[in-house]
Amino acid sequence: MLRPDASILLYEDGVYAALSGTVMVHKLRDVLDDVRVYCLKPDLAARGIEPEKVLAGIELVAYEGFVELCVEHRRVQAWL
Dihedral sign from CA coordinates of 69, 35, 8, 76:
positive
Q: What percent of the chain has pLDDT over 70?
A: 98
CATH of the domain at 13: 3.40.1260.10
CA angle 50, 52, 54 (to 5 degrees): 90
Q: Which domain holds residue 33?
A: 7-72
In a domain, 77, yes or no: no
For residue 47, pLDDT beyond 70 = yes
Which pLDDT value is given to residue 55? Answer: 94
Asked whether residue 1 is domain-assigned, the answer is: no
In this predicted structure, the answer to whether residue 1 has a pLDDT above a threshold of 70 is no
pLDDT band of 26, cuts 50, 70, 90: confident
Average pLDDT along the chain: 90
Residue 27 forms part of a structural domain:
yes
Domain count across the chain:
1
How far apart CA 74 and CA 6 sit, in angstroms, is 10
